[in-house]
Amino acid sequence: MRAGKYFDGLAAAYDARETPGLKRMREEFQRRLFLRFPAGDRLLDVGAGTGTDACRLARDGRHVLAIDASARMTAIAAGKRARLPIEARRRVRIVRADIEKPERFPRGKFDGAYSNGGALNTVRDISPLVR
């Protein structure tokens, strides 16, 4: 089963499944991103899921292109984006895209990229993504 379809089935309950331990891990991950990438930087979120990290980074001044293969995950992420203040909304773009086909990503230059979770574990060959 393709990863996008698999995560479509998990999307509705995905955020509710975050345990206190996973929440602490996410907070630490975000803290490290904030230290590494200052406000104004352009980031690529690979396997953005429900958009939690992308929206938090956009709210705090980073520009984020968030990609995920799951239509349902990106729909939830778009809902989170819609609830952001207007300036933050302008800094985040949510796109359904298969990470194994980076040639189909929207074009752009990035100061960095990140993946929080297992999205890269679903890719057989990440070399096209790295390029």
Residues in the chain: 131
Give the pLDDT confidence score for residue 1 in this predicted structure: 42
Predicted structure pTM score? 0.88
What are 65's strand-pairing partners? 44, 93
Residue 70 CB neighbours (<10 A) = 26
- The tens place of each residue's pLDDT in the chain, 131 residues long, gives 477 777 767 667 777 788 899 889 989 999 999 999 999 999 999 999 999 999 999 999 999 999 998 899 999 999 999 999 999 999 999 999 887 777 777 778 899 999 887 777 777 777 777 77
Q: In 3D, which of 81, 86, 91 has the Cα closest to residue 42?
A: 91
pLDDT at residue 8 in the model: 63
